[in-house]
């Protein structure tokens, strides 16, 4: 257990050393996970560390350090390497790189899709009224987003592909999409 803003994970990591753990599962954001990875590796814990999309940011490796960021796995709604097969994503990534001189991060891709999904909802309902936008969003099927094809289910949750990325020496060494 940890909370946002925690900096010292040595006590819990030390307790892991006496156990025969196969992996550490720690969903959270890069700010804490970068430190967990760094401190785990410094403590000699070299098992895989698995997490969620909050790890899908270059700042994770900046905090953890390249040499510590191996055997790191996380799910993400946007993977540069997976996105290369999606023409919509390629256009987005090229424009983002041209404007900001860096690769598009996951949260920018999600924000991009969100804005265009709202735009589609407004156009389909011919209204910017929030109730009608919600109704328009609920009708979205096979939206061609930069994060993949998105369909809203009956509970208004997006059904979409997700990628798993592996880091080795601070670089994405493998990624694949699950639909």
Residues 71 and 138 in one domain: no
Residues 148 and 134 in one domain: yes
Residues 123 and 145 in one domain: yes
Question: pLDDT in tens for each of the 179 residues of the chain?
Answer: 788 999 999 999 999 988 989 999 999 999 999 999 999 999 999 999 999 999 998 899 999 999 999 999 999 999 988 899 999 999 999 999 999 999 898 889 999 999 999 999 999 999 989 999 999 999 999 999 999 999 999 999 999 999 999 999 999 999 988 87
* Long-range Cβ pairs for the range 49-55 (8 Å, 24+): 49/23, 49/24, 49/73, 50/23, 50/24, 50/25, 50/26, 50/74, 51/25, 51/26, 51/27, 51/75, 52/27, 52/28, 53/77, 53/106, 54/27, 54/28, 54/29, 54/30, 55/28, 55/29, 55/30
- The answer to whether 179 and 164 are in contact (CB under 8 A) is no
Residues 106 and 143 in one domain: yes
Q: Is 85 exposed, middle or buried (0-12, 13-18, 19+ CB in 10 A)?
A: exposed
Residues 102 and 86 in one domain: yes
The model carries a pTM of 0.84
The verdict on residue 125 lying in a domain is: yes
Q: How far apart are CA 68 and CA 61, in angstroms?
A: 8
CATH number of the domain at 154, please.
Answer: 3.40.50.2300
Residues 69 and 96 in one domain: no
For residue 74, the SS3 value is strand
Residues 92 and 115 in one domain: yes
The verdict on residue 5 lying in a domain is: no
CA 70 to chain centroid, in Å, comes to 17
Residues 43 and 64 in one domain: yes
- The answer to whether 153 and 134 are in contact (CB under 8 A) is no
Residues 113 and 92 in one domain: yes
Range of the domain at 141: 82-159
- The answer to whether 72 and 33 are in contact (CB under 8 A) is no
Domains: count for the chain:
2
Question: How much is the CA Rg of the chain, to the nearest whole Å?
Answer: 19
For residue 171, the SS3 value is strand
């Amino acid at each position: 257990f940890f909370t946002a803003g925690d900096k010292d994970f040595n006590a819990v990591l030390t307790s892991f050393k006496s156990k025969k753990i196969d992996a550490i599962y720690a969903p959270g954001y890069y700010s804490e996970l970068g430190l967990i990875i760094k401190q785990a590796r410094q403590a000699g814990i070299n098992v895989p560390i698995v997490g969620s999309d909050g790890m899908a940011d270059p700042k994770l490796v900046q905090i953890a350090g390249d040499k510590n960021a191996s055997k790191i796995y996380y799910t993400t709604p946007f993977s540069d390497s997976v996105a290369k097969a999606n023409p919509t994503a390629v256009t987005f990534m090229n424009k983002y790189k041209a404007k900001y001189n860096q690769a598009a991060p996951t949260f920018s891709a999600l924000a991009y899709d969100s804005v265009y999904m709202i735009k589609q909802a407004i156009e389909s309902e011919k209204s910017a009224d929030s109730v009608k936008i919600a109704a328009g969003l609920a009708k979205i099927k096979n939206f061609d987003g930069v994060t993949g094809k998105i369909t809203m289910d009956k509970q208004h949750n997006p059904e979409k592909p997700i990628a798993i990325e592996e880091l080795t020496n601070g670089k994405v060494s493998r990624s694949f999409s699950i639909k």
